[in-house]
Amino acid sequence: MDYFFNPRGVAVVGATANPKKGGNIIVGNLLKGYEGKIYPVNPRYNTIDGLTCYPSLRAVPDPVDLAVVFVGAEMVPQVIQDCAVRGIPGAMIESAGFAEIGAEGLARQHVTARIAEEGGVRLWGPNCMGLVDVKNRRVFSTVTPSIWDQGMIPGKVSLIVQSGLLAGAFLIDVMSHGVMGIGKACSIGNKMDVMECDLLEYLLADPDTGVVGLYLESIVDGPRFISLCRGAKKPIVVLKGGKSVAGAAAAMSHTASMAGDGAVVSGAFHQTGVVEADDFHQMMDYCRVLGEFDGLPSGLGNRVAVMTYSGGAGIVSADFLGDAQLALATLSQESLTRLKGVFPSWMAPGNPVDLWPGILLNGAHKAYNETLAVLMNDPGVDAVFAHCFVGGFDLEPQLDTLARLAHSSRKPLFCWISGERKAVDRFQRQALDCRIPTFREIKRAVDCLGTLLAYHRRKYQHAGGPIKDVHVPTMLEDLLEGGSRVLNERASKSILKRVGIPVVEEIQVMTLTAADRAADRFGWPVVLKGVMPGAVHKTEAGLVALNIDGPEMLHREFEEMASRVGKAGEVLLQPQLPAGLELIVGLIRDPQFGPCVMCGLGGILAEVLNDRAFAVAPLDRADALALIGRLKAQQLLDGFRGAAALDRNALAEVLLRLGALGVACPVVREVDINPLIVVEGRPIAVDASVML
Amino acid sequence: MDYFFNPRGVAVVGATANPKKGGNIIVGNLLKGYEGKIYPVNPRYNTIDGLTCYPSLRAVPDPVDLAVVFVGAEMVPQVIQDCAVRGIPGAMIESAGFAEIGAEGLARQHVTARIAEEGGVRLWGPNCMGLVDVKNRRVFSTVTPSIWDQGMIPGKVSLIVQSGLLAGAFLIDVMSHGVMGIGKACSIGNKMDVMECDLLEYLLADPDTGVVGLYLESIVDGPRFISLCRGAKKPIVVLKGGKSVAGAAAAMSHTASMAGDGAVVSGAFHQTGVVEADDFHQMMDYCRVLGEFDGLPSGLGNRVAVMTYSGGAGIVSADFLGDAQLALATLSQESLTRLKGVFPSWMAPGNPVDLWPGILLNGAHKAYNETLAVLMNDPGVDAVFAHCFVGGFDLEPQLDTLARLAHSSRKPLFCWISGERKAVDRFQRQALDCRIPTFREIKRAVDCLGTLLAYHRRKYQHAGGPIKDVHVPTMLEDLLEGGSRVLNERASKSILKRVGIPVVEEIQVMTLTAADRAADRFGWPVVLKGVMPGAVHKTEAGLVALNIDGPEMLHREFEEMASRVGKAGEVLLQPQLPAGLELIVGLIRDPQFGPCVMCGLGGILAEVLNDRAFAVAPLDRADALALIGRLKAQQLLDGFRGAAALDRNALAEVLLRLGALGVACPVVREVDINPLIVVEGRPIAVDASVML
């Protein structure tokens, strides 16, 4: 991939002398920063912008590693053919007119891809804005040259952006507003060959990149994406577009119906430590913050001290902390005593620290500096959130001193900045130089601080042990009664039992006598279930009789059930489990990530809370425990109102085994265990469907 | 109050010639815009800034309606005394050093208040930034004079801000960033006399004000606040600080323990149509949007069309709509046909409308104009969200044409603007002139659009009928067995029954024979409950025996219960209700709002979902129904898994009667009905505690 980022020589196919056209802008952008040879290609010119222009790629001299292509879509296949002949390893196709315009363009895209593959040419694009490498001043893009005049601030944040125009538009916006530095920005367009994973892999190894932000509408190779994220030593932030797109309308299983709204993608992100953003600005905020604090020490918690010039702003900040999984720090007695030196005698300092009386007494510099020193030294404080006002009122702190204090403490200092427009702009740029993140809004600052601290807690937590080896009988074919798509309860549970998942006992009863005998064996009360081909929703079909408390009721229910299922069905007798927490667990095959395990609340809570989480198989034990930990209703799991607490390891084992089944047996399309009931803390599958 | 806003003559007590001091800044601000007479007061000067300076207030000639006071706190009582002697009706105390500095300042505040009251002087402040009236260019404030050079954009948004410094800081920030117009900004400080309600009342009647935004840390007079908001013809937006402050640690009732986190305040806001914001920027965004669209027609729904230059941004926008209670509009066949004229033949337009191919074909102006015309004409579209990019790429639309189209359609048009910094600034200012709200972030734009449309739906929905007359027996004294703070179940339920709330039947049973007779009367199964002085949590104390299904079990349980409660207690027998949805309803007395009614989910769901809502008593039927409608678990109410749907009118009746009880009987401190079980759709109180 290095020929895309660090080419020895770049040809611009479709270069023109018209400064309004993209073909000229590409040449101009190259001239401004690229240090290698530039070869415009266009049969209609001899020179462009003082450079020799060549009639075709074949005429371009060595060295040339990259062709930036900006010609009509219909000419692109020929250009790629020329790259192959000429031995140019990389082509960045910035032209539009491919898959995004429908069938005709899609056909063209296929043709182009085949030529490239046969000729050994890697393709970036098409329908993209190429590359802006701010650090190395390499702009292989039609992006407006005005970016050179403003905002080319080098930084550690590299970006991968699907959606061609958005990438450029977004970049211009971010760069011209000048509040963060950028490393490499990659616009990947239609992803016909080079895709997010190729670039992610490159950027994770790139010494100039400290954090990678991605805007993606699809993830082409889910397993590779997961593997890259799992191994990443740098933070990865993703904004995934298209989450609200309705899932398959007629999902067969509960599990599949709970997989909408991006739950699977979010699960994969959680599992691999990817930070998920939900807006472009949030993505950029997370990137700049995570990029700034790559060296935070382990052991930082979530306790925040707030220092403010306004009691009101302190109150509003404190109100937000809980939402961001942060807590207001309790200051040590020593800190409180030391703070008294900054404030008038009538004031009893607390957290939030209202600086105003101290500013009146000692001026803003002393009040901010001494307070920050105390807070940063307090072992009960993990981070400080400072409110600053500039332009009027003489409230402006000495930013460089604050930054020095913060950096030497190795705890994050975040600033909320407001004030007169020009002064705010100046302060933000100064803060960028001092590496202090500033925010125009309290809520956003708190959100970012919470995300930063949570990321680092997780980073040090995640031991990343090997995937536990779960034995799955690979020869399940004898149980998979050929042909049927949905296995019945008995067949489904016997598969689960073979995989090692605890299932409720059951006996198939053909006669009343057999039913009596089975009930005697299990003890009262018992349950009768009717199993019929094609009947998936048993309760609704009247095929479940619960709480059968004696022989009389059993006889009545057996006769009824037997007549209901008829000759083609069968009747199962099971012990009635005591009431307990109902869960749903399941397995689906996601088009992007393959087999995924779900864990969710069942019963009435399933539909009200919609409380479920996904993880991509195979899971290790930490994944499985984290998956359980992502459910909202943790209180219920921990033993609600006298019930025994869930044995999380036992449930994790079920999830691990389900995942292993999914990986080992591609023939198993979906599994639904509903309900999985927690009895004295241990999960037992009471009903299940396996779909092939 | 008009002497504060429109005074004939203003005295500045504490005026100085030193341009760095607040006392000079006030005079300077007056000179720049105030059209009446200005009288500096300071014995140390003869003139200040060319104005005659007076040695004391008593020496100031007529007319003078307002004294702006900026002297040391210790001198303020004397100044107010002078106001009284001189007959000046209003004093705006901008000095600090009062309640905010502790006991000494609080004493000074009390003294000052007494002098003012006796002398007939209204006090604004202290510890505040006074008034900035942008429309009339009256600045009675120490706010930095730089506001005159930038951002004095008159508008309809008036503000009331508690927290002295914040008001000024915030105003400078908002004004200097110049993206919205301001009417009157009032900084109210310690609110020793003039409080939020006085100013709210004034601003609601002020012809220059279209919307009022408030930042409040406390609401001094809850009932008046509610009455003002109920009657308001203008939108009111409130940011309430201090919501996360932990409630009383040892709340007696469930209802009280569920009242934390600002639930009561939020309930009061909901009930009276106040829009609640959770950050300063959100408050200002809501204000500018609600102020802009005061003339929206009735009947607008929540269906949004998105027009974008980037498919990716369209996808992200669509993802956000659901969170903001908005839906993606389905375009009519006619619209789709008309849109084809703007786009290349290969493109099948949909919503979001991806303009890019149309821009390539026809240019940005035509693409935007014609598309917007089609969308605004579509009866299935209630609002349009347009994405705009400026500075590069030739994507900029004709804002004035778009605005004309939008205004003539009387549907909101919102813009997301990004691009090169200077171009964005220019676009935002132009949009302000054209009255098109612009946002730098998609999420925020969608949130504001959702808030706007919801506000208008509610405005036209809320008939605001009179409060239903619920008869509450005022002579409850006979039931209120003197002395005890918490009435037992039997006494509590008999009060509720008298109020007209359905309660489960019960018979006090002293003997086994009586128990048998009672059970025969109700039919099996039955419930036994033990009532003992001081035992509030009956289930935990073993004082509830459920599901007694026959005489044998009844005898056993009766003996046990009778021995458990002893001579001081009593045993109640009740019919066992069938399983049903469990609710908790209750009454508390809130220090700000007085009696408030709660409705929440009960049982296991209460603690997991924390699903509850409050409304201030007395309620009208619409309030009660809206209160029920604010619960999250609406699915459960509507008859879940075959259960009958809740009779909402019957539940509303319970809530109305509880509220009426709270209003009529101040002696009733709290009521907890837990559970209130829904049987065949009708709510019945199964257990209750009344606290006096």
CA B500, B501, B504, B509 torsion-angle sign: negative
CB of B74 within 8 Å of a chain A CB? The answer is no
For residue B49 the two structure tokens come to 């800034």
CB of A316 within 8 Å of a chain B CB? The answer is yes
For residue B552 the two structure tokens come to 């044998």
Query: Percentage of chain A surpassing pLDDT 70?
Result: 92
Residue B333 confidence (pLDDT) above 60: yes
Q: What angle do the packed helices B648-664 and B489-499 form, to 10 degrees?
A: 100
Distance (Å) from the alpha carbon of B477 to chain A's nearest alpha carbon: 37
For residue A238 the two structure tokens come to 């993703």
Chain A residue with minimal CA distance to B396?
A169
Q: What mean pLDDT comes out for the span A25-37? A: 95
Higher pLDDT, B643 or A504: A504
For residue B534 the two structure tokens come to 């001081």
Paired strand residues for B508: B572
Distance (Å) from the alpha carbon of B422 to chain A's nearest alpha carbon: 8
Higher pLDDT, A488 or A528: A528
Which chain A residues are closer than 8 Å to B217 by Cβ?
312, 315
Long-range contacts of A491-495 (CB under 8 A, 24+ apart): A491/A690, A492/A671, A492/A688, A492/A689, A492/A690, A493/A685, A493/A687, A493/A688, A495/A661, A495/A668, A495/A690
Paired strand residues for B691: B486, B670
Distance (Å) from the alpha carbon of A109 to chain B's nearest alpha carbon: 16
Binary contact (A641, B392; C-beta < 8 A)? no
The whole-number pLDDT of residue B647 equals 94
CB of B239 within 8 Å of a chain A CB? The answer is yes
CB B304 within 8 A of CB B329: yes
Higher pLDDT, A193 or B394: A193
- Chain length of chain B: 692
CB of B279 within 8 Å of a chain A CB? The answer is yes
Element (H, E) at B447: helix B442-461
The predicted-structure confidence for B67-80, as pLDDT tens digits, reads as follows 999 999 999 999 99
Cα distances from B527 to residues B533, B547, B680, in angstroms, run 20, 6, 19
CB of B139 within 8 Å of a chain A CB? The answer is no
Distance (Å) from the alpha carbon of A668 to chain B's nearest alpha carbon: 30
CB of A675 within 8 Å of a chain B CB? The answer is no
CB of B318 within 8 Å of a chain A CB? The answer is yes
Residue B313 confidence (pLDDT) above 90: no
Average pLDDT value over all residues in chain A? 88
Binary contact (A641, B389; C-beta < 8 A)? no
Distance (Å) from the alpha carbon of A215 to chain B's nearest alpha carbon: 9
DSSP 3-state helix, strand, coil percentages of chain A (rounded to 5)? 40, 20, 40
- Looking at the partner chain, which of B244, B279, B441 has a beta carbon nearest the beta carbon of A322? B244
For residue A433 the two structure tokens come to 């130089």
Average pLDDT value over all residues in chain B? 88
The predicted-structure confidence for B219-270, as pLDDT tens digits, reads as follows 889 899 999 998 999 999 999 887 655 333 334 455 666 665 688 889 999 9
**What stretches of A145-232 adopt beta strand conformation (E)?**
154-161, 182-187, 211-216
- Looking at the partner chain, which of A217, A315, A424 has a beta carbon nearest the beta carbon of B312? A217
To which residue do tokens 């020895």 refer?
A8
Q: What mean pLDDT comes out for the span A196-204? A: 97
User: Using CB atoms and an 8 Å cut-off, which of residues 54-73 of chain B contact chain A?
Assistant: none
Query: Percentage of chain B surpassing pLDDT 70?
Result: 92
Binary contact (A312, B217; C-beta < 8 A)? yes
Query: Percentage of chain B surpassing pLDDT 90?
Result: 57
CB of B441 within 8 Å of a chain A CB? The answer is yes
The values of phi and psi at residue B369, to 5°, are: -60, -50
The predicted-structure confidence for B268-306, as pLDDT tens digits, reads as follows 999 889 999 988 889 999 999 999 888 888 889 999 999
Quote the radius of gyration of chain A (alpha carbons, Å): 31
H-type helices in A306-398, by residue range?
311-321, 333-340, 356-377
Which chain B residues are closer than 8 Å to A96 by Cβ?
360
H-type helices in A411-488, by residue range?
421-434, 442-461
Chain A residue with minimal CA distance to B318?
A244
Q: What mean pLDDT comes out for the span A508-527? A: 92
Q: What mean pLDDT comes out for the span B342-363? A: 88
Q: What mean pLDDT comes out for the span B346-364? A: 89
CB B598 within 8 A of CB B445: no
Cis omega (within 30 of 0) for bond into B126? yes
A-interface mutation test, from B147, B174, B604, B637, most A Cβ less than 10 A away = B604
CB of B583 within 8 Å of a chain A CB? The answer is no
Amino acid, single-letter form, for residue A400:
D
Q: Grade residue A611 by pLDDT with cuts at 50, 70 and 90.
A: confident
**A144 three-state secondary structure:** coil
Binary contact (B176, A635; C-beta < 8 A)? no
CB A38 within 8 A of CB A63: no
The predicted-structure confidence for A301-353, as pLDDT tens digits, reads as follows 999 999 999 888 888 898 899 889 999 999 999 999 999 989 988 888 889 99
User: Using CB atoms and an 8 Å cut-off, which of residues 631-650 of chain B contact chain A?
Assistant: 633, 635-636, 640-641
Q: How many inter-chain contacts (A to B, CB under 8 Å) are there?
A: 215
Distance (Å) from the alpha carbon of A20 to chain B's nearest alpha carbon: 10
Distance (Å) from the alpha carbon of B100 to chain A's nearest alpha carbon: 9
Model confidence, pTM: 0.87
Q: Phi/psi class of residue B130: alpha, beta or left (left: φ > 0; alpha: ψ in -120 to 50)?
A: left
Paired strand residues for A308: A354
- Looking at the partner chain, which of B163, B243, B389 has a beta carbon nearest the beta carbon of A311? B163
CA A158, A162, A165, A169 torsion-angle sign: negative
The whole-number pLDDT of residue A591 equals 84
Of A314-318, B199-203, B661-665, highest mean pLDDT: B199-203
CB A508 within 8 A of CB A575: no
The whole-number pLDDT of residue B677 equals 93
Binary contact (B608, A635; C-beta < 8 A)? yes
Mark A438-465 as b/e (b = at least 16 C-beta within 10 Å): bbbbbbbbbbbbbbbbebbbeeeeeeee
How crowded is residue B572: how many other Cβ atoms within 10 Å of its Cβ? 23
Helices and strands in chain B: count of H runs, count of E runs:
23, 30
Binary contact (B163, A310; C-beta < 8 A)? yes
CB A211 within 8 A of CB A237: yes
- Looking at the partner chain, which of B310, B391, B420 has a beta carbon nearest the beta carbon of A166? B310
Q: What mean pLDDT comes out for the span A231-241? A: 92
The whole-number pLDDT of residue A315 equals 85
HEC profile of A100-137: HHCHHHHHHHHHHHHHHHHHCCEEECCCCCEEEECCCC
User: Using CB atoms and an 8 Å cut-off, which of residues 184-223 of chain A contact chain B?
Assistant: 215, 217
- Looking at the partner chain, which of B170, B310, B316 has a beta carbon nearest the beta carbon of A169? B310
Distance (Å) from the alpha carbon of A390 to chain B's nearest alpha carbon: 9
For residue A680 the two structure tokens come to 């004295």
- Looking at the partner chain, which of B100, B172, B636 has a beta carbon nearest the beta carbon of A608? B636
Q: Grade residue A237 by pLDDT with cuts at 50, 70 and 90.
A: very high
Nearest to B207 by CA among B156, B250, B264, B279: B156
Paired strand residues for B615: B597
Q: Grade residue A535 by pLDDT with cuts at 50, 70 and 90.
A: low
Cα distances from B83 to residues A205, B65, B116, in angstroms, run 74, 10, 8
